């Protein structure tokens, strides 16, 4: 039973973090209204069906499902009555140009044994690396993921003190690539672990080795697939939010966050001016300041930080089934350093890109017609900096078709019977991600975690932030943790 307070909260945006924040605030007793500019809820985690093919638009890898479950148990509900998911193994299937194929096994012992049999690295070396990723996760989790980095009191706990004392062990002074080169002899292993930098739109050649905790979450803690696809996550949260009394106003973009004497007081939308006790912005932090609060003093250093990478995504209906592929597939390029240099420094598309193909019809057969597959085909590209995207999309399409046709030994072009495309421009338009940067600011520095915008405003009272562009970062688990951190501060 929710204990009602005579207080109100407006949430700007219904991405997964906005939904999480709304559910938490409603459980605190606030009357909560979500303002969503799109005609659908979910932000990046949305879905569309075309010609019998269903596609998840955004994130496709699901880890730490207990963070989603917590929102249901907090609300006194059984999570399984709303959302079901299954553990997947293998997690990823990796394809290399020389014909090598690896399956990423769940569990460090199984992973180490499998990889040691197929690479020149020993089982002991692989286990040692994975054990270190767990150590770093345990040292950093309390400080970086569970609390605000911007409140002094959070630094005076035993867990945080332990993390700070062992700061030199977490790899903050090393890059992901250099740490991986020290750990492994096999170039394929180095490339495989360097890939995890793309999870937050960064480069392994400049991002801190601390980010090498990501494979621990995926390999040791496991990856999952939600029944019905990724969109089921936000559908279940929308259902929960509405059941407990959250008012979700679709097609109602916020035009302005009202600020009076350094205090957030309300929202201006097509519904007029409405007053609220608390405002939580799930919108990209750059757009929150630049578009919704144009008159307030802006955190210039934060807003001017380099942006993360973006993506070009081809949603292809493929009139064939490929038995050699799995749910998550990576087709590596041959020159990773040049690929990241092209994306991050030259701000253009690489000629031989690494390609990720997600095929949900492997597990949800109704996502594609019989004998066919739905391909979510993703290539990392730079954020929108005024490039000729029409040309770059056409070039990328040719690169991808050529690459996949070569590596799968099949003419892919002839199999595409349905197509939709997203690029940094349409990503920005659909999700309000500034410059189409999917992951907010890049994490290409040792202090990147500390430079993300906090979950509150130090200048404007009653204004809070959640989502992938603020602390602790992008991805479903971190976005939901940002909602928890923000609402715990209120």
SS3 letters across 56-88: ECCCCCEECCHHHHHHHHHCCCCHHHCCCEEEC
Do the Cβ atoms of 191 and 336 come closer than 8 Å?
yes
Q: Which residues pair with 256 in a beta bridge?
A: 268
Tokens of 252: 């109602």
Are 8-45+62-78+228-305+450-489 and 112-219 equal in CATH topology?
A: no
Identify any residues that bridge with 32 across adjacent strands, giving them in sequence order. Answer: 9
* SS3 label, residue 457: coil
Instruction: Give CA–CA dist 231/245, Å, rounded.
Output: 21
The topology (CATH level 3) of 112-219 is: Guanine Nucleotide Dissociation Inhibitor; domain 1 (1.10.405)
**b (16+ CB within 10 A) / e for 427-448:** bbebbbbbbbbbbbbbbbbbeb
Collapsing DSSP to helix, strand or coil, 284 comes out as coil
433 to each of 8, 16, 26, 430, how far by Cα in Å?
A: 27, 14, 26, 8
pLDDT at 211: 87
Please check whether residue 253 is in contact with residue 269, taking contact to mean a CB–CB distance below 8 angstroms. yes
Reduce the DSSP state of residue 473 to 3 states and report it.
coil
User: What is the structure's pLDDT at 452?
Assistant: 81
Determine the Cα–Cα distance for residues 102 and 250; give it in Å rounded to an integer: 44
Euclidean distance between CA atoms 279 and 487, whole angstroms:
11
- Delimit the domains of the chain by residue range: 8-45+62-78+228-305+450-489, 112-219
3-state secondary structure of 271: coil
Place of tokens 């080169």: 181
Phi and psi (nearest 5°) for 177? -65, -45
Smallest CA-to-CA distance from 7 within 28, 38, 34 is with: 28
Tokens representing 239?
A: 């259902």
Residue 373 contacts residue 322 (beta carbons within 8 Å) = yes
Start-to-end Cα distance in the chain: 20
CA distance 86 to 84: 7
Taking the C-alpha atoms of residue 278 and residue 265, their distance in angstroms, rounded to an integer, is: 7
| pLDDT the model gives residue 226 | 98
Query: In 276-401, where do the E strands start and end?
Result: 278-281, 310-318, 328-331, 355-358, 373-381
User: Residue 102 in contact with residue 90, Cβ under 8 Å?
Assistant: no
Angle between helices 16-27 and 231-243 (to 10 degrees): 20
| Tokens representing residue 486 in the block | 């923000």
**Residue 257's Cα: distance from chain center in Å?**
26
Which residue is associated with the tokens 């938490």?
24
Contact assessment for residue 276 and residue 464, using Cβ atoms and an 8 Å cutoff: no
pLDDT attached to residue 482: 96
pTM, two decimals, is 0.94
Query: Mean pLDDT of residues grouped by 10 in the chain (490 residues)?
Result: 91 98 98 97 95 95 96 98 97 97 96 97 97 87 63 55 54 83 97 95 91 92 96 98 98 97 97 98 96 92 90 98 98 97 96 97 97 98 97 98 98 98 96 94 68 88 96 92 95
Give helix 66-74 / helix 476-489 axis angle, nearest 10°.
Answer: 40
Give the pLDDT of residue 230: 97
Dump pLDDT digits (tens) for 335-379.
999 999 999 999 999 999 999 999 999 999 999 999 999 999 999
Q: How far apart are CA 231 and CA 256, in angstroms?
A: 29
- Contact indicator for 324, 408 with CB cutoff of 8 Å: yes
* Superfamily covering domain 8-45+62-78+228-305+450-489: FAD/NAD(P)-binding domain (3.50.50.60)
Cα 215 to chain center, whole Å? 14
pLDDT value of position 166: 54
Cβ neighbours for 403, distance < 8 A, ≥ 6 positions apart: 331, 333, 352, 353, 355
Task: Give 64: exposed, middle or buried? Use CB within 10 Å, 0-12, 13-18, 19+.
Answer: buried
């Amino acid at each position: 039973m929710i204990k009602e307070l005579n207080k109100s909260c407006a949430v700007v945006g219904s991405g997964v973090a906005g939904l999480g924040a709304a559910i938490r605030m409603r459980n605190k007793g606030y009357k909560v209204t979500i303002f969503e500019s799109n005609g659908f809820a979910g932000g990046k985690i949305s879905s569309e069906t075309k010609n019998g093919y269903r596609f998840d638009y955004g994130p496709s890898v699901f880890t730490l499902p207990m963070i989603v479950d917590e929102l249901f148990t907090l609300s006194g509900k059984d999570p399984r009555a709303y959302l079901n998911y299954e553990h997947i193994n293998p997690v990823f299937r990796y394809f290399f140009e020389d014909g090598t194929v690896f399956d990423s096994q769940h569990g460090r012992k199984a992973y180490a044994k499998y990889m040691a049999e197929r690479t020149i690295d020993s089982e002991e070396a692989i286990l040692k690396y994975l054990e270190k990723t767990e150590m770093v996760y345990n040292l950093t989790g309390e400080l970086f993921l569970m609390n605000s980095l911007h409140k002094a009191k959070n630094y005076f706990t035993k867990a945080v003190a332990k993390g700070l004392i062992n700061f030199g062990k977490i790899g903050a002074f090393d890059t992901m690539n250099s740490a991986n080169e020290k750990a492994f002899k096999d170039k394929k292993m180095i490339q495989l672990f360097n890939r995890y930098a793309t999870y937050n739109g960064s480069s392994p050649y400049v991002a801190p080795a601390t980010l090498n905790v990501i494979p621990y979450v995926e390999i040791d803690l496991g990856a999952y697939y939600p029944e019905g696809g990724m969109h089921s996550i936000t559908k279940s949260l929308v259902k929960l939010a509405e059941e407990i009394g959250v008012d979700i106003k679709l097609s109602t973009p916020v035009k302005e966050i009202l600020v009076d004497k350094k205090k957030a007081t309300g929202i201006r939308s097509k519904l007029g001016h409405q007053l609220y006790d608390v405002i939580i912005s799930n919108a990209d932090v750059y757009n929150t300041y630049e578009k919704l609060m144009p008159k307030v003093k802006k955190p210039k250093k934060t807003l001017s930080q380099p942006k993360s990478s973006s993506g070009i995504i081809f949603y292809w209906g493929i009139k064939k089934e490929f038995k050699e592929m799995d749910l998550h597939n990576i087709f590596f390029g041959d020159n990773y350093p040049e690929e990241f240099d092209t994306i991050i420094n030259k701000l253009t598309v690489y000629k031989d890109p690494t390609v990720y193909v997600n095929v949900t019809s492997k597990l949800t057969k109704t996502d594609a017609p019989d004998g066919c597959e739905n391909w979510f085909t993703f290539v990392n590209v730079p954020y929108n900096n005024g490039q000729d995207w029409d040309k770059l999309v056409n070039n990328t399409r040719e690169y991808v078709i050529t690459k996949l046709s070569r590596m799968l030994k099949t003419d892919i072009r002839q199999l595409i019977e349905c197509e939709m495309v997203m690029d940094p421009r349409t990503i920005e338009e659909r999700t309000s991600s500034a410059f189409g940067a999917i992951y907010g600011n890049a994490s290409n520095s040792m202090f990147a975690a500390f430079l993300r915008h906090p979950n509150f405003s130090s200048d404007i009272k009653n204004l809070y932030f959640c989502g992938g562009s603020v602390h602790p970062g992008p991805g479903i688990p971190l976005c939901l943790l940002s909602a928890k951190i923000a609402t715990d501060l209120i």
